[in-house]
Structure 1
């Protein structure tokens, strides 16, 4: 199969869909890889490195989209990109369609087969292609909070970890999944006073054992969230409903419970955000204020560390991408976990949470693909 790697065009997005290592693997499996010139510049991978890996360098995104049977990206296609997609072409990337009706309609009109990293599953019910970026984003969330708490970042002038004789910041993490766990590891490592809220008692038990009493775990409810907001210096939103819009756990009215210049970091912003007052921001202008509360809502947080992120992502996506390149749509028929990643197929929405969020008709992926 001919596989295409365009340069990412989202603001301050420096990751790349395929690293040179991954390109070499595709070529070793008999595939032809078209790489747009400069696609790997953000991770320090020159065109010559891709050539050495067996890829072919082309001058423009138009050439990539026109020549490839499968497009491998990192972020969701931008308007100029989804217009280049066509019927029968496979798109393999993060999509986050639930809060993005414009993109959804663009993909439906293109007729392409769009497979989303974030809804591919594994035999344990996990999300193996979302996990690496969730790990990165969880760790970055604490760094973002630390910067935003500084006076120079608009915050109240607190050092996140404190110093002897001066208490550390109080950090609340909403959600004990991959993002929340990695955020908690960073915050605990800095010595923060930390509370994790989740609705799964088994998960709270796991976290209690993992952190060996260094963090507080609480069952998440409206009452406990309100109580924690009153004492928090930082709240990290780390909730996820696969494929669906994130629930709004903190309303605008709740902001009045918080102390002025406290910080909200919404890692769920890709799925619409878990704070009512969240709206997507970029690395160029990462924060804004609502009711004297600092909001950090960058929609591609791992893009700030593209070298780490791209390699971690490629390690996870490579087996699935090779399967798609080898078998095309048959890979979706053969592998139920990869099939869970199918969000749009030839003009129809095939992911039920996306269809519900966007109020669009839904067809089961198995029916759409003709799985017996």
Structure 2
């Protein structure tokens, strides 16, 4: 067996099930589940129509590289979204469809890590657990970069010594960050791109929350825009990972993409050809329709804004609006996040995720401890009720 299995830790939701297994709610309140970031807004009608209209694709094997139509739709979206020059993204060489970001973020480590002794894969801490599992199963050692409260939950990349960067083969970043909701500025992204060129590592930029943000005039910056600002028109050593799950409220479609450095895309396509994970043709057609449309994204973003504003109104100064995404990163009274999670479930029938389950203790400190993550994915009425219950719990 792959020796990396020995180092894998239970997935956060498996741990949550164990934490709550013996807890019973006796108050008669309906359960409101804010533990998992599964969007529940209505899927766009145009996606449904495209799926139905292309079911004849069931009779054909899809191409791993995807259709010309889908790659062109993705390239066009990237150009529009990030203010890139027309033609800046080559749909034939710099875009590859994927089965959502989760699958692709895991697979890229298997593709680019060379398993040399001492190989490291860097990631913010707390983090999306796929990053760690991908590193371990690729034969690398994780490098955890803390996102501490004292630093405004921003990862301290400058604390990593140059000698350590030289062992890094892959850096995962996530902006807006899951779970804290913090956003990396364009200057920060440019700095990371410069580090990647200097120390010869790949950046995997997880931007799946990038289309949920508070100000229409200030969308979060992306890694491809940072490359262009530095004159790296080929997006050297940089890949962006994006999904329709959050943007278009279709997590069950399992559709996303990776785009950037053509040399990396070429090798990743070869890997994925053997891996066998091509998107069905009807999914590709529905995905192309979604990437070409922004109206449904703006409508969904407005709903999230209302839910987040209602949360701040109910909780006051105890919580801050995320700079992006739909999660609240809430400090808990007493600092014991598993105990607070149990009490919320028992007394108020709210299911949330302990922050310590999303991070690793490094140097004796778990930067997720003392927090819980709340994903505001339920409908507006349920989210408002959840915030009322949460405010009561915080006042107990």
TM bucket by the smaller chain?
0.3 to 0.5
Report 1 or 2 for greater relative contact order, CA contacts < 8 Å, sequence distance ≥ 6. Answer: 2
Q: TM-score, normalised by structure 2?
A: 0.33
